Amino acid sequence: MWHLRGNTTLTPEPYIQSPSHPASQCLSGLGGDLKNTPQNPVTMSTNSPPVTPTPPTSPMSPSTPTPPPTPQHGTTSYAKSIVFMGKGRSPNFVTESTRLPIQLSPGQVLVRVELATICGSDLHTLNGTRTSVHPCVLGHEGSGVVVDSRREGVEAGQRVTWGVCASCDNCLSCSLALGNKCMKLHKCGHTLVTTAPLFGTYSTHTLCLAGTPIVPLPPALTPTLAAPLNCSLATMVHAMAKIPTLPRPGHPGATVALVQGAGMLGVYGCALLREAGFGRVYCSDPNRTRLAKVSDFGGIAVHPEQEDDLIAPDSVDVAFEVCGSKEVMSRGVRALRPGGTYILVGLVHPDSRMDVTAQTIILKCLTITGVHNYTGEHLHSAVNFLARHHHRYPFKSLVGPTYPLSDFRNALEVARSGKFFRVAVNPQL
């Protein structure tokens, strides 16, 4: 079923507005009067049953003869997106058509998404186990081709990836190189459509806000290689930056790492650590299917049942928690040598109370630190790392089947099955 909505402004104007002039066309009338005007033909469908939206191409009423303004870019005037409607709503996501902007604001970049990948965090949002603003265009992992840009150095036709965090570059956090914690942060896949109508990747187009890091992709980084890198790989590059200067290579215990979790973060982490010179990289996970991949990425697979036998206490220089399970914390602390570093990445949920005493931390002189998302610098490094090493490790194999956007529900089901590290969505199919 289609609902046609929008405001009644008759004067053509750029679709994208600043937050102070919200793009109220998009979902602003949710639950209210449903209207349609040719100037503002935002459309929406529920996903039950699935429908194939057809963007309006002509005025609905003979009394409003002015045709819609034509955007200056791309071959289509509309984007089609998956919009999260909120926890407990039925349906909790819909497919929506949104008119593309006619004119971008300074700093904005409009990208045609070539491939997006379904992240576990999106599954949590849709399962209701993670709180998210709504309505918002879902999805943050993806790559694409620039179709319009008002950013110096970013040109139409470039293939790019972009950061999940759009920052202001002006606040205290930004001044501390913590753009990922910007006080005016907007996150791709987690921003209200009234603020940013197309800032998500389960969409034919993503409108990257000013302050979103944009990084060109070399041709070797195919969509399959590139789509997931702006989440797990860039985050692990950030985590790697937390490793302090290590003792000289060759000294006992100088280059041993433990990665707790063999998901995307974990296998990227294994490859990053090996390329950084770590001689032994243990990677633990109870899921044997995932563990089977670890050696392909340079890690030593460790099932929790073997952990005590394989990893001696006080033998690891640096440990990474990338599994989201608080049960691993005491094991990580136990494995670390005196002066070791524990980097927490995956436990981004409230049920994460640490089972470790301050005494242990003090007596072992441990450094425990957290990493959340990343900055543009880390995204650049992630692209460079993948460009250098994609031949050496089977990164391509991390992405399973690809679905069209119209089949998003099935893509979700397959993603939930856990058979693949990532399931992909090609919004152009």
CB of 12 to Zn ion, least distance (A): 33
The answer to whether 67 and 16 are in contact (CB under 8 A) is: no
The answer to the question of residue 174 lying near Zn ion (CB under 5 A) is yes
Pick the stretch among 78-86, 161-169, 251-259, 346-354 that binds Zn ion (CB under 5 A). Answer: 161-169
Pick the stretch among 170-178, 283-291, 295-303, 396-404 that binds Zn ion (CB under 5 A). Answer: 170-178
Nearer to Zn ion, 56 or 211 (CB): 211
The string of DSSP letters for 273-298 reads: HHHTT-SEEEEE-S-HHHHHHHGGGT
Pick the stretch among 223-231, 255-263, 266-274, 305-313 that binds Zn ion (CB under 5 A). Answer: 223-231
Nearer to Zn ion, 231 or 333 (CB): 231
Nearer to Zn ion, 96 or 141 (CB): 141
Nearer to Zn ion, 101 or 142 (CB): 142
CB of 264 to Zn ion, least distance (A): 8
CB of 213 to Zn ion, least distance (A): 13
DSSP 228: G
Question: What is the distance between the alpha carbons of residues 209 and 167, in angstroms, rounded to a whole number?
Answer: 9
Question: What is the distance between the alpha carbons of residues 230 and 238, in angstroms, rounded to a whole number?
Answer: 12
The answer to the question of residue 180 lying near Zn ion (CB under 5 A) is no
Nearer to Zn ion, 199 or 282 (CB): 199
Nearest to 208 by CA among 221, 217, 194, 197: 197
x/- track of binding to Zn ion for residues 345-384 (CB under 5 A): ----------------------------------------
Q: What angle do CA 304, 307, 310 make, to 5 degrees?
A: 150
The string of DSSP letters for 362-399 reads: HHTT-EEEE--S--HHHHHHHHHHHHHHTTTS-GGGGE
Tokens of 135: 């309505």
Pick the stretch among 134-142, 233-241, 242-250, 416-424 that binds Zn ion (CB under 5 A). Answer: 134-142
Burial label, 31 (beta-carbon count in 10 A; 0-12, 13-18, 19+): exposed
Pick the stretch among 78-86, 116-124, 153-161, 348-356 that binds Zn ion (CB under 5 A). Answer: 116-124
Nearer to Zn ion, 75 or 131 (CB): 131
The answer to the question of residue 182 lying near Zn ion (CB under 5 A) is yes
324 phi-psi bin (left φ>0, alpha ψ -120 to 50, beta other): left
The answer to the question of residue 226 lying near Zn ion (CB under 5 A) is no
Question: What is the distance between the alpha carbons of residues 155 and 289, in angstroms, rounded to a whole number?
Answer: 42
Q: Which residue of 149, 167, 191, 381 would you call a contact of Zn ion, by CB under 5 A?
A: 167
Q: Which residue of 231, 237, 301, 344 would you call a contact of Zn ion, by CB under 5 A?
A: 231
The answer to whether 119 and 126 are in contact (CB under 8 A) is: no
The answer to the question of residue 254 lying near Zn ion (CB under 5 A) is no
Pick the stretch among 173-181, 198-206, 297-305, 347-355 that binds Zn ion (CB under 5 A). Answer: 173-181
CB of 285 to Zn ion, least distance (A): 18
Neighbours of 420 (CB within 10 A): 17
The answer to the question of residue 123 lying near Zn ion (CB under 5 A) is no
CB of 230 to Zn ion, least distance (A): 8
The answer to the question of residue 119 lying near Zn ion (CB under 5 A) is yes
Question: What is the distance between the alpha carbons of residues 97 and 405, in angstroms, rounded to a whole number?
Answer: 12
Tokens of 91: 């349906």
The answer to whether 294 and 283 are in contact (CB under 8 A) is: yes
Residues near Zn ion (CB under 5 A) are 119, 141, 167-168, 171, 174, 182, 231
